[in-house]
Amino acid sequence: MSEKVLINDRLINREEASFSFDDRSMYFGDGIYEVIRIYGGFPFQMEMHMQRFQRSAEELDIPFDYDVKQSLTNSLLELLKENGLNEGIIYVQLSRGSADRNHLYERHTEPLIFAFTKPMERPQQAMSEGIATYLTEDERWLRCDIKTVNLLGNVMAKRKAADHDCQEALLHRGDLMTEGSSSNLFIIKGDVVQTHPANNYILNGITRQLVLDYIEEHGKSVVFEPIQVEDMKNIDEAFITSTTSEITPIVEFRGTVHHKLTVGPLTKSLQKRFNEDVVKTEQGE
């Protein structure tokens, strides 16, 4: 059976899918996206993803109202069912649409939606053993709260991390940490958990939001302040969060700061709590 993709409101065979090279996402990165995790054939926290998707569209002045959101949600569920994906992701993208190349966009352009599914296993080894990270300057734009497809700053940082045998880049603006190239950052010192506040310098990750709830359940306090780069040498635990990395411990910093860590007890406890929600999703709850 041929794999299906979604183009606007139509499910078609992947090999038949096409769209205009005049699409503004090609010229300007003028679009947004979401990645939704699938566990046991069911989407994880889909409504949270769709709410953020709608917010991103509104921030970029791309038409996307409640009715479109509901229709797209139904189409994505149909795509998931059609492809029979058990473990993986749905990638969904919304662009401003096709028009002659011009920095000034017109508001009458018809937006383009496309989506596909992709098998993906959970990162069990990384979550168990931890990863090495590379600290580097944050060179992205100033609206990181919008999940735009324009990701060159993230891409270049991730490449730099890989060139130093690290699995993620941790970004800082001057002497203040922001987040990972494709993740949010948490550090732990004593009984205090610290993470960057949800503002324009970071993406307010879905997994990040869940972890904040879990931390509250654990009776821990959270400091919402940027982490000083130099303070990264003096912490007890650190981990990243994202849809695909879930809760992944950090065991080494390289680059701007050099420091080694072990996978700590709070990180493990939060992973266990996250897995409880995964199991509920797998059971269709």
Grouping H, G, I as helix, E, B as strand and the rest as coil, residue 139 is coil
Grouping H, G, I as helix, E, B as strand and the rest as coil, residue 285 is coil
Q: Can you tell me the distance from the alpha carbon of 108 to that of 98, in angstroms, rounded to the nearest whole number?
A: 10
Q: Can you tell me the distance from the alpha carbon of 283 to that of 285, in angstroms, rounded to the nearest whole number?
A: 6
Q: Which long-range contacts (CB under 8 A, 24 or more apart) does 55-61 make?
A: 56/32, 56/146, 56/147, 56/148, 57/32, 57/94, 59/143, 59/145, 59/146, 60/30, 60/32, 60/96, 60/146, 60/148, 61/105, 61/107
DSSP state of 94: E
Annotation marks residue 81 as catalytic: no
End-to-end CA distance of the chain: 29
Grouping H, G, I as helix, E, B as strand and the rest as coil, residue 146 is coil
Grouping H, G, I as helix, E, B as strand and the rest as coil, residue 227 is coil
Residue where the block lists tokens 């065991």: 251
Do the Cβ atoms of 11 and 79 come closer than 8 Å?
Answer: yes
Please pick, among 4, 69, 81, 147, the residue that the annotation labels catalytic.
147
Q: Can you tell me the distance from the alpha carbon of 283 to that of 93, in angstroms, rounded to the nearest whole number?
A: 28
Catalytic residues: 147
